[in-house]
Chain A
Amino acid sequence: MITARKIETRAAEVNVLSGGTGPDLLFLHNAGGVTAENPFLLALAKKYRVFAPQLPGYGDSGDSDNIRDMLDVTLHSFDVLEALGLEKPILIGHSLGGMIAAEMAALRPREVDKLCLIASAGLWLDAYPVPDIFTLLPREFPAYMFHDAEAGAKMMATGGNMNDPAFLIPFLVTNSRQLGMAGKFLFPIPDRGLKERIHRIRARTILVWGDSDRIFPAPYAQAFKSLVPGAELVSIPDAGHQVVLEQTDSVMAAIGRLG
């Protein structure tokens, strides 16, 4: 059972989804956001006391003009931890959330002991240019996000008619709030200098990657592995960028390796 509550940081009012019992775990969502019904969040809540703050601009969190860059969002995330009264929770981030989690662990290495980066953003390899997700049309997303695009399309179905303004306008507002915020860290190239700081990470780190990730393909997993001291890579077959939805159990098992 996931419940929601609001906390305040200097930057914004933040809606935090939480539930479950067990070790404390902070989950940072991807650029698509997270809801209380998210199957991965529900899986986490079976084993951990999970907290999933929604970034400003996402879901029921407020907007924030004060978050403009990577440092702002990283410090904001520490402020969220502080407001929740959490001490060194397991830190997990998916995609954009992984980029923020990696920054947190690099910025304050003594405050993050256990880290799991899932299909993380934050690096750029010239030989493997990341697709420009900001230009993708809704119908184009599943093929990039999932190993099984057809099944993915069902999971991502918006359930509305894009030609109907009553559906389209709220859809565009949500999209603009969310990706408008995500764009501050990902647009036009999802690299804000993490590679200059990533060596500072001291946490025990598990990297989780879907074998058929078409956003950050396998060389990105290798790049993280080579840059994060002592990181362990868990590659998961039959999974794309949305590995958390496509192979939830395997991801849970990988997180379990953090102890």
Chain B
Amino acid sequence: MKFTWFNLMPWPHLPDDFREKNRSVWVDIDQALFDPVKCHEVYNDYLDLLEYADQLGYDGVGINEHHQNGYGLMPSPNIMAASLARRTSNAAVVVLGNSIALYNPPIRVAEEFAMLDIMTGGRFVAGFPVGTSMDTNYCYGTIPGLTREKYAEAHELIIRAWTEKKPFAFNGRYTKLRHVNLWPNVLQTPHPPIHIPGGGSVETYDFCLDNTYSYSYLSFSGYLRAKALMEGYWNRVGQRNADQSPYRAGFAQTVFVAETDEEAERLYSEHAFYFYNRCLHVYPGFADAPGYRTIKTIQSGNLNQYTRPNYPTLTWKDLVDGGYIIAGSPETVRQRMEELIKGLHVGNIFLLLHVGNMPKDKCMYSTKLFAEKVMPHLRNLHPEHATDNRFWCKPISRRATPAPVGQAEMVPAQ
């Protein structure tokens, strides 16, 4: 199993009446709610937490890209990744990912990911989401009906730039480059492993299978509701006669651990409510720009998780019973996690252990309990696939370490 400690980096200061007084947490969120001085603290705390997860032995530390979003303060996850590259030492830095249709030219992603791959000594996992409609279309202006074609072209360019070790010309429809010659280029061979966040379209299943990429379902609605979608994926894997390695799939799950189930509710419920009842307040008109989803995907009835105009206010019981969150004592969490891992047949878990407006100390408590009392029991749930390393990074063994601050050895000029 690979456990990645994932942080969305939510803004923790949305007011109590946010949902009543604002139409959306995303795209046109009120500038007056933002405070850069507070954000200075927030960024610092979140990076501390990611670094703490590295120290506790999580396999990866994960970050992602959102724009104009009150629950995701990372327009550029690569900047956070660069910081983590120096201040973490063992965990993979998982950037899940860069919305490659948004970069002009997309070679920029190939370059920055190559830099991160090198800086981390190969402790790097790449992600290429198409990006939500909110980010891709409404914030970044990509034409919905052309988004996927643009994405496919960007993907082709990036992979060729990483793997063709000589200059080439790229005559794309959206990007034309006479001299593609990445320098520096990636450290891992043939390139860093790639995870693709998806929302249930068959095209994305096939894209992952064609390229040996891991398919990640990053829903916030939990493992019980993910069953049908993940079954669809595994059915497709079967139809395509691919092996059933659980590392072909990843899943994001919100988790809270305390000494007891009661303590979990007492410590964490307000933060779960903050996230589920406040942060996910997205104006339905932003959820799905017409043309963004393929007709095939719409016909499959797989509609966007934000299209429900009036989502209910969820109680702790709703959240736990509905599987949105896995919360409780280490034993409760272990049981539920095992259900999740076996039920969805996944090898990569993206743990949302920081949620909403959770303060640092509570998050560290939960993170430590999971690392020490839950994770060890879940490590070997897929023993038959233990040697499958196709979907995870391959760091070099002799990695450089940052000199302690202020103690860099001064080499006198010769």
Taking CB atoms, residues of chain B closer than 8 Å to A21 are: none
Taking CB atoms, residues of chain B closer than 8 Å to A68 are: 146, 173
What is the chain A residue whose CB lies nearest that of B295? Answer: A173
What is the chain A residue whose CB lies nearest that of B300? Answer: A169
Q: Which of the candidate stretches A132-140, A207-215, A226-234 sits at the interface with the other chain?
A: A132-140
A176 CB-CB contact with B under 8 Å: yes
A233 to chain B, nearest CB (A): 31
With the chains together, A215 CA to B295 CA distance in Å?
A: 28
Chain A interface, >50% SS class: helix
Taking CB atoms, residues of chain B closer than 8 Å to A177 are: 295
B327 to chain A, nearest CB (A): 31
With the chains together, A118 CA to B143 CA distance in Å?
A: 25
Task: Assess the B290–A179 pair: CB atoms within 8 A.
Answer: yes
Task: Assess the B289–A165 pair: CB atoms within 8 A.
Answer: no
With the chains together, A194 CA to B309 CA distance in Å?
A: 37
Taking CB atoms, residues of chain B closer than 8 Å to A134 are: 137-138, 144, 285, 289-290
Residue in contact with B144 in the complex, picked from A137, A165, A187, CB distance below 8 Å: A187
B61 to chain A, nearest CB (A): 34
Residue in contact with B137 in the complex, picked from A165, A175, A181, A188, CB distance below 8 Å: A188
Most buried by B among A68, A135, A165, A184: A135
A77 CB-CB contact with B under 8 Å: no
What is the chain A residue whose CB lies nearest that of B24? Answer: A135
Task: Assess the B291–A181 pair: CB atoms within 8 A.
Answer: yes
What is the chain B residue whose CB lies nearest that of A177? Answer: B295
Given contacts A68-B146, A169-B299, A173-B299, contact A180 B141 (CB under 8 A): no
Given contacts A183-B145, A183-B291, A187-B143, contact A137 B284 (CB under 8 A): yes
What is the chain B residue whose CB lies nearest that of A185? Answer: B143
B298 CB-CB contact with A under 8 Å: yes
Taking CB atoms, residues of chain A closer than 8 Å to B295 are: 63, 173, 176-177
Task: Assess the A184–B301 pair: CB atoms within 8 A.
Answer: no
Q: Interface size class for chain A?
A: 20 to 34
B293 CB-CB contact with A under 8 Å: yes
Residue in contact with B289 in the complex, picked from A65, A172, A187, CB distance below 8 Å: A187
Task: Assess the A183–B143 pair: CB atoms within 8 A.
Answer: yes
Taking CB atoms, residues of chain A closer than 8 Å to B58 are: none
With the chains together, A175 CA to B298 CA distance in Å?
A: 11
Task: Assess the B293–A176 pair: CB atoms within 8 A.
Answer: yes
Task: Assess the B285–A176 pair: CB atoms within 8 A.
Answer: no
Chain B residues 150-190 with CB under 8 Å of chain A are 173
With the chains together, A187 CA to B286 CA distance in Å?
A: 13
A133-161 interface bits toward B, Cβ cutoff 8 Å, 1 = contact, 0 = none: 01111001000000000000000000000
With the chains together, A61 CA to B241 CA distance in Å?
A: 37
A178 CB-CB contact with B under 8 Å: yes
Task: Assess the B301–A137 pair: CB atoms within 8 A.
Answer: no
Most buried by B among A173, A179, A184, A188: A188
With the chains together, A165 CA to B283 CA distance in Å?
A: 21
Task: Assess the A184–B285 pair: CB atoms within 8 A.
Answer: no
With the chains together, A140 CA to B284 CA distance in Å?
A: 12
Taking CB atoms, residues of chain A closer than 8 Å to B309 are: 137
What is the chain B residue whose CB lies nearest that of A180? Answer: B291
A133 to chain B, nearest CB (A): 10
Task: Assess the A137–B299 pair: CB atoms within 8 A.
Answer: no
Task: Assess the B141–A184 pair: CB atoms within 8 A.
Answer: no
Task: Assess the B144–A183 pair: CB atoms within 8 A.
Answer: yes
With the chains together, A173 CA to B289 CA distance in Å?
A: 12
Task: Assess the A137–B285 pair: CB atoms within 8 A.
Answer: yes
Taking CB atoms, residues of chain A closer than 8 Å to B303 are: 172
Task: Assess the A180–B285 pair: CB atoms within 8 A.
Answer: no
Residue in contact with B290 in the complex, picked from A63, A137, A175, A188, CB distance below 8 Å: A175
Residue in contact with A183 in the complex, picked from B149, B284, B286, B289, CB distance below 8 Å: B289
Chain B residues 241-299 with CB under 8 Å of chain A are 283-286, 289-293, 295, 298-299
Chain A residues 29-88 with CB under 8 Å of chain B are 63, 65, 68
Taking CB atoms, residues of chain A closer than 8 Å to B145 are: 180-181, 183-184
What is the chain B residue whose CB lies nearest that of A139? Answer: B309
With the chains together, A178 CA to B144 CA distance in Å?
A: 12
Task: Assess the A135–B285 pair: CB atoms within 8 A.
Answer: yes
Taking CB atoms, residues of chain B closer than 8 Å to A136 are: 285
A102-140 interface bits toward B, Cβ cutoff 8 Å, 1 = contact, 0 = none: 000000000000000000000000000000001111001
- 7 A-B contact pairs sorted by A residue (CB < 8 Å): A68-B146, A134-B138, A172-B298, A180-B291, A181-B291, A183-B144, A183-B290
Residues of B within 8 A of A (CB): 137-138, 141, 143-146, 149, 173, 283-286, 289-293, 295, 298-299, 301, 303, 309
With A134-B290, A169-B298, A176-B292 given, name 20 new contacts (CB 8 A): A134-B144, A135-B286, A136-B285, A137-B284, A137-B285, A137-B309, A169-B299, A169-B301, A173-B298, A179-B290, A179-B291, A180-B290, A180-B292, A183-B145, A184-B143, A184-B146, A187-B137, A187-B141, A187-B289, A188-B143
Name the 8 nearest CB pairs between A and B, nearest first. Answer: A180-B291, A179-B290, A135-B285, A180-B145, A188-B141, A176-B290, A183-B291, A183-B144
